[in-house]
Amino acid sequence: MEQAGKRRQFDAAFKAEAVCMVTEGGYTQAQAARQLGIEAKRISHWIKQMHQHGTKERAFPGQGHEHDAELARLRREVATLRMERDLLKKVALIFAEPPKATKR
């Protein structure tokens, strides 16, 4: 969870990719937002910026860094992998228990 007063920053390439997912990739804004782990209103804002300025260089002159987007993607991937690992551990414990004897 983000800390209050601390905003995430996204580089121009990340913003352009998000816009491309919606404008050319067939995703809805909500689908693209879920895929990227951001709010849909951010993508809407970026689409407006792109239409107003034309190119991504002029539309997204912000301070974001490319490695920030990669770091966020990797953190989401690690969280997913940990969840899958924990699930597999639980399943392995269930199958490792000897079968219970049934009364006849």
**Cβ-contact 10, 68 below 8 angstroms:** yes
- Flag whether pLDDT at 81 surpasses 90: yes
pLDDT of residue 1: 43
Q: Which of 64, 52, 63, 56 is nearest to 17 (CA)?
A: 56
Which backbone phi and psi does 26 adopt, to 5 degrees?
80, 5
Burial zone of 88 (CB within 10 Å; 0-12 exposed, 13-18 middle, 19+ buried): exposed
The string of pLDDT tens digits covering residues 21-68 is: 898 888 899 999 998 889 999 999 988 888 887 766 567 765 556 677
- Flag whether pLDDT at 95 surpasses 80: yes
More confident residue, 68 or 2: 68
Which backbone phi and psi does 28 adopt, to 5 degrees?
-80, 165
pTM for the full predicted model? 0.51
